[in-house]
Structure 1
Amino acid sequence: MPDFTIRALTEETFGDFAALLERNGGMYAGCWCTKFHPDCAEKGQSAEANRALKRRLVADGLAHAALVYDGDRAVAWAQYGSPEELPSIQHRKEYLATAERLPDYRVTCIQVERGLRGQGLARIALRGAVELIARAGGGLVEGYPHDTGGVRKKNSSFLYNGTRTMYEREGFVYDRPKGLVNCVMVREVAPSARD
């Protein structure tokens, strides 16, 4: 297996992130991974407008992700941030009604380049997000993967946040259901020293 590296999404790495999305059609109808942000693009907004929004959020320090690199090419990412940064999660009303407390961070989207799926890159991206969260001070982290019962019935392009099994392999524990096919997974991440 190649030696993958993790880099944070910053103004410096935005071009690599953009190249990854452009190779994959801007992801989900040109969303540019803006759906979960409070300034989420309006329905019908162009992919170019979503790209500009994402670039502005990155420049303002309001968008975070772990980028997985194969050499100098970004091939996957895991978006993470605080609940204030990423409030627009799916099944939000049900989620808030059953939450005992909000996490310090949430992982809302994991994507792997088409053609490279099924090789463990989503898990590497999730691990990278956890490492970057640890460097930022750690805390309670939540993810909202698909609960497939251990059986992969869905096309991987629809598993926008991985599977429960993948999260369990990375030290997350099941907290509760969320919607019909997703769940809330939690992990307390200890702070680590910065590089």
Structure 2
Amino acid sequence: MGIQVRPATAFDDIRTMVGPKKPTSNVCWCLSYRVPGAENRALHGPARGEKVRELLADGPPGVLAYDGDDVVGWAAVHPRADTSFATNRKIPHVDDQDVWSVWCIRVRPGHRGRGISHALLSGAVDFARASGAPAIEGYPVDNQGAKVDLTMAYVGTRALFERAEFVHAADTTSVLNGFPRVLMRRDLS
């Protein structure tokens, strides 16, 4: 059957991918770029999951990858205007188009090395296109083939984005895990 990627509409599946094992833990829930910094810092424990549930009520906050009935991957993708990338001083705007951003790609342990990241990025592109986005951007590290720590690999690599037909659109002043981040973009028109 293969990996299927579809819009993230099931809260429990989102929780499986980005939520904590212990409900009171303060994990990202993929909110750090999705909500303003002050709000992100103020949310603790179960309030983080409730914020995701609230965002989900307004539409899918990303896409999920499934292997049969098992959720195995997540990619956060949404209009840039609704993210902190809209005002981020380290990541430039190429133009004034209402582009979408993809900023987090996660694959569950035990499922890595099977091309799921590629499927997630392709699914994010398809979701943005179906939602009317004129273009989609990502902000991966330019690691030039060097190993990226798994906890910091969520932004993807330049090579991953290049394989998905994104092109280098701009350099940034953002650095993650010692690697510069670049702005990669794919036109969807």
TM range (shorter): 0.7 to 0.9
Distance 1:23 1:38, change over 3 A: closer
Where do 5+ consecutive residues of structure 2 fail to align? Answer: none
User: How far off is 1:66 after superposition?
Assistant: 1.2
Which ranges of structure 1 fall in alignment gaps of 5 or more residues? 191-195
Q: Do the aligned partners of residues 167 and 48 (structure 1) sit closer, same or farther apart at CA in structure 2, a change above 3 Å counting? A: same
RMSD, matched Cα: 2.5
Change in 2 beyond 3 A, CA 1:157/1:42:
closer
Which of residues 23, 30, 54 in structure 2 aligns to 1:56? 54
Q: Is 1:89 matched up with 2:88?
A: no
Match of 1:160 in 2: 154
TM-score for both structures, normalised by structure 1: 0.82
Give the conservation status (yes or no) of the 8 Å contact 1:117–1:156.
no
Output the amino acid matched with 2:159.
T
* Deviates further, 173-182 or 160-169: 173-182
1:48–1:169 CA distance, 2 compared to 1 (3 A): same
Which residue of 1 is the match for residue 17 of structure 2? 20
Is the 1:103–1:141 Cα contact (8 Å) retained in structure 2? no
- Cα separation, 2, equivalents of 1:176 and 1:120: 26
Shift of 1:102: 4.7
Which segment is superposed worse, 50-59 or 128-137?
128-137
**CA shift in 2, pair 1:79/1:42, >3 Å:** closer
1:115 aligns with 2:110: yes
- Give the Cα separation in 2 of the matches to 1:146 and 1:102: 23
Query: How far is the alpha carbon of 1:152 from its aligned partner?
Result: 3.1
For the structure 1 residues 109 and 92, does the alpha-carbon distance in structure 2 shift closer, same or farther, using more than 3 Å as the test? same
Q: Figure out how many residues of one structure are paired with residues of the other and give that number.
A: 182
Q: Aligned equivalents of 1:7 and 1:82: distance in 2?
A: 17
CA distance in 1, matches of 2:113, 2:20: 18
